[in-house]
Amino acid sequence: MALLDILRYPDSRLHTVARPVAAVDDRIRQLVADMAETMYAAPGIGLAATQVNVHEQVIVIDLSEERNALQVLINPEIIAVSQETSERDEGCLSVPGIYDTVERPAVITVRALDAQGQSFTLEADGLLAVCIQHEMDHLRGRVFVQYLSRLKQNRIRSKMIKAEKTDKADKPHREAA
Ligand code: K1U
Ligand code: ZN
């Protein structure tokens, strides 16, 4: 298994639209294992392949306290959404330190493939519904801050660019031998 680098907003690669997975094979199962390890290490409750610069429709989620209930969604499709919406604070591993409220459909029905390539349908509400929609947005090239006002987006962008510069200045630069 391997820890993967997570792209940080405002990296333009976060806006790439992911293509469907053609075949759920060992390459995809390795990607799922690496994404799960990366999500657990971050730590986070979800991760989309887009965030690790792989532009295929793969999502991992684990909402359990024990971190032992991995959910894998490959080529997910939302087939129904409730009229009712709910507002919840969201965070994002690609926008560390930023949390803000997003309004989304409260209940969704999603169809996807699992890590064995088997199709399943899931009705989700609460945090699972939020997390699936947040991760599916990543696969469409959308980051949650795009739901916020222009003013907030500009502030977040400046903050992230500043943090990136500080990070780089703090890390010793290693010259190639
Ligand atoms: O997609 C991502 O960047 C992962 C993101 C998922 C998410 C969180 C909250 C609402 C919607 C989607 C995260 O995991 S952010 C980190 C986080 O929420 C968390 C981390 C450790 C423990 C509990 C939560
Ligand atoms: Zn995110």
- Name the residue at shortest CA distance from atom 5 of ligand 1: 92
Q: In what order do the strands lie in the sheet with 46-48?
A: 46-48, 58-61, 71-81, 108-113, 119-124
CB 124 within 8 A of CB 108: yes
Catalytic annotation present for 135: yes
Higher confidence at residue 172 or residue 58?
A: 58
Domain ranges within the chain, ordered by starting residue: 12-167
Query: Region 58-84: what's the mean pLDDT?
Result: 98
Copy the structure tokens of residue 102. 């997003």
Taking the centre of ligand 2 as the mean of its atom positions, its distance from the CA of residue 26, in whole angstroms, is: 25
Task: Give residue 45 CA to ligand 2 midpoint distance, Å.
Answer: 10
Say if residue 177's pLDDT is above 50: no
Average pLDDT on 112-127 reads 98
Q: Name the closest-CA residue to atom 9, ligand 1.
A: 90
Mean pLDDT for 63-79 is 98
Q: Which of 66, 123, 135, 164 is catalytic?
A: 135
Report CA 87 to chain centroid distance, whole Å: 18
pLDDT (0 to 100) of residue 168: 82
Find out whether 61 and 139 touch, Cβ atoms under 8 Å.
no
DSSP 107: -
Domain 12-167 in CATH 3.40.50.300? The answer is no
Q: Is 131 in the pocket of ligand 1 (CB under 6 A)?
A: yes
Comparing 164 with 113, which gets the higher pLDDT?
Answer: 113
Report the chain's mean pLDDT, rounded to a whole number: 96
